[in-house]
Chain A
Amino acid sequence: MITTRPSPSRTDSVAGDVETPALKTDSITKSYGSNLVLEELSLEVQNGEFVSLLGPSGCGKTTTLNIVSGFLQPDSGAVQIGGVDVTHTPAHKRDSAVVFQNYALFPHMTVEKNIRYGLKAKRVPREELKERVAWALRLVDILELKDRYPGQLSGGQQQRVAVARSLVMRPGILLMDEPLSNLDAKLRAELRLELKALQQDLGQSVLFVTHDQVEALSLSDRIVVMNRGHVEQVGTSREVYEHPATVFVARFMGVENVFELTRDNDIYQTAGGLHFPSRLMGPEVSAVGIRPSMLRTRAEPVEGWTGWASRGEIRSVTYLGDTVRYEVAVGDETLAAISSDTHSVLDPGSTAYLHASPESLLPLAT
């Protein structure tokens, strides 16, 4: 549960100039030896915006976070926080705060002292310091835990302390490094909701690093999908999910059926013998993606169907409760299809007709 109260003091408020982004990286590059980790990465987080860096491990998202927070120096490029160039500013002088994956709470200090730690460095006046600590404790609902030590807290409670310790600084940009990954699924879902509500109430600008697409989709105003040190796509959750730009983004977003295409007059075809008429696809398409849930699997062809259709053979059937999952062989290709019709389930080995509407054929760049 969240109790949100107005911040007692907004003298060093996060809400700056509307035009100045809270965070801006300008083509930052970083390599270790011959290993290029980040290649000319540029991104922006607007004031009050929640942006996720999404990608598999090793894609450079954590390196980006470390460069923004000041723990790493980029080889080239610039970092701005609140319009100020901080590329060469040491970590302790930047207007950013990190919520670490392992929380990094000081084990020899009580919860309250952990939260005060950074404020004392800022020489906040005593009265204001007290107020802000109390505000942060209430904000994440841990007032009654203030005299405990981190070792006496559960993972979820430690997570709250870590968030409070960062938020009490009223940072220009809050950086979060997979902060929910050490929690169990149920707690993760709960804290996700809380975090989003908290961020919106405070208007806090956030850069959130995660490899979990559900987390990114549910939390973010915009998602930056990263792969091998570069940006694959930037967009709102809906844009990235419904219109993935590349094969990589499509696969990462759960589009299981992805095929590279070659064009032969009016027909695009795959190596394994799938055919897509060009009237459904657009002029210059190098790959196509279809979500399993967008494929309709029938024993008979649907009459008058104007979209894509193909005949195949059911290879396997998996009952999943709400849905049934089919693996369907068409030529040398296999497609995954998920059907919500759990009553008339087709048998393995039987003939099946796959149907997809023109909108569900996602054109992808390779």
Chain B
Amino acid sequence: MNRSRTLTVIGIAAFIFMLMPVFIVMWVSVTSSQFIAIPPEGYSLRWFKSLPENRSLMGGLWYSTWLAVLVSIISVTIGAMAALALGKRRMRGSGAIGGLLILPLILPSIIVGIAIYIAFFQLSTTLGMRLVPSTSALLWGHVLVTLPWTFRLLHSGVVTLGDNLDKASRDLGRGALYTLWHVNLPLLKAPILASFIFAFIFSFGNLEISLFLIEPGGITLPVAMIQYAHLGMDPSLAAIATVQIVLMAVLLWLAGRFVNVGRVMQRT
């Protein structure tokens, strides 16, 4: 065997090793039995069909979806404003501000979660009103951890765009707002859509922050799944996991149509 052949084989092996759990979950989800077992005793779609009646998991799914949509909108808006402010021209401190926005990326999410909890808790006692656990605290926590992604994606888009077209637009008699709306935003469509998708994916999958900040009646899907698992494993979990896997795959594929996903992940 030559070198490149060996590398190919190792590559495929690593790939299989990484994706194995995902395949096993999908495999288990189509079992016909009451229990999780490999290999399944028979095949059926009964666990998918019964999912809509599973109130805790479905509640989590919808709650997570709405939360992720809201988080994405806020995160993309803030990220775009920061990217436009810092990416168009060099100013004093732009490097530091950019670094600060990326910081949550290198902090373990669990620390961010604890930090938000403690900070909001202290604030609550000072203000005499309950700030945690609450949906708004959860929302801001998620925005915080998705912001590095949206900011970076949009920042590189803005830098690539440069300020030539802004100059041309101003020269032709257009003010800043018109230029933003008719030149910059249309040309940043791809990174805006991609960062929206990334924010959605990271909010949807986040467990660590949610654990600290959820309030009763507002349980996200990952937390709902943990609670469900405590009561006993059944193939419903595999079914809902499969739904998530497919959803994420579709979203990543969509994002890939707008930006080079590999390159975005690489820059971590």
The A145-170 residues at the B interface (CB cut-off 8 A) are 165, 169
Verify if A343 is at the interface (C-beta below 8 Å from B): no
Verify if A319 is at the interface (C-beta below 8 Å from B): no
Verify if B130 is at the interface (C-beta below 8 Å from A): no
Tell me, in angstroms, the Cα distance from A107 to B175 when the chains sit together: 19
Convert A77-116 into 0s and 1s, putting 1 for each residue whose CB lies closer than 8 angstroms to a CB of B. Answer: 0000000000000111100111010101111100000000
- Which residues of chain B are near A104, meaning CB under 8 Å? 164-165, 167-168
Of the listed residues A71, A92, A108, the one surrounded by the most CB atoms of chain B closer than 10 A to its CB is A92
Query: Interface size for chain B: under 10, 10 to 19, 20 to 34, or 35 or more residues?
Result: 10 to 19
Does the CB pair A98–B171 fall under 8 Å?
yes
Verify if A235 is at the interface (C-beta below 8 Å from B): no
The B141-188 residues at the A interface (CB cut-off 8 A) are 164-165, 167-175, 178, 183, 186-187
Does the CB pair A102–B167 fall under 8 Å?
no
Does the CB pair A118–B172 fall under 8 Å?
yes
Assuming the contacts A107-B187, A108-B186, asked whether A100 and B172 have C-beta atoms less than 8 A apart, the reply is no
Does the CB pair B168–A100 fall under 8 Å?
yes
- List the B residue with the shortest CB-CB distance to A95: B173
Of the listed residues B167, B168, B169, B186, the one surrounded by the most CB atoms of chain A closer than 10 A to its CB is B168
Tell me, in angstroms, the Cα distance from A118 to B187 when the chains sit together: 18
Does the CB pair A117–B169 fall under 8 Å?
yes
Tell me, in angstroms, the Cα distance from A234 to B180 when the chains sit together: 41
Give the shortest distance, in Å, between B192 (CB) and chain A (any CB).
Answer: 14
Q: When the two chains form the complex, which single residue of B168, B173, B175 contacts A106, counting CB atoms closer than 8 Å?
A: B168
Verify if A185 is at the interface (C-beta below 8 Å from B): no
Does the CB pair B173–A98 fall under 8 Å?
no
- Which residues of chain A are near B168, meaning CB under 8 Å? 98, 100, 104-106
- Interface majority SS (helix, strand, loop, mixed), chain B: helix
Give the shortest distance, in Å, between B105 (CB) and chain A (any CB).
Answer: 31
Query: Interface size for chain A: under 10, 10 to 19, 20 to 34, or 35 or more residues?
Result: 20 to 34
Give the shortest distance, in Å, between A52 (CB) and chain B (any CB).
Answer: 20
Convert A222-262 into 0s and 1s, putting 1 for each residue whose CB lies closer than 8 angstroms to a CB of B. Answer: 00000000000000000000000000000000000000000
Does the CB pair B187–A108 fall under 8 Å?
yes
Does the CB pair A100–B173 fall under 8 Å?
no
Verify if A10 is at the interface (C-beta below 8 Å from B): no
- Which residues of chain A are near B169, meaning CB under 8 Å? 92, 106, 117
Given contacts A70-B171, A100-B168, 20 further A-B contacts (CB under 8 A): A71-B170, A90-B170, A91-B170, A92-B169, A92-B171, A92-B172, A97-B172, A100-B167, A104-B165, A105-B168, A106-B168, A106-B169, A107-B187, A108-B186, A117-B172, A118-B172, A118-B173, A122-B173, A165-B172, A169-B172
**Chain B residues close to A by CB (< 8 Å):** 164-165, 167-175, 178, 183, 186-187
List 10 tightest A-B contacts by C-beta distance, closest first: A118-B172, A121-B173, A104-B168, A91-B170, A104-B164, A92-B170, A98-B171, A92-B173, A108-B186, A118-B173
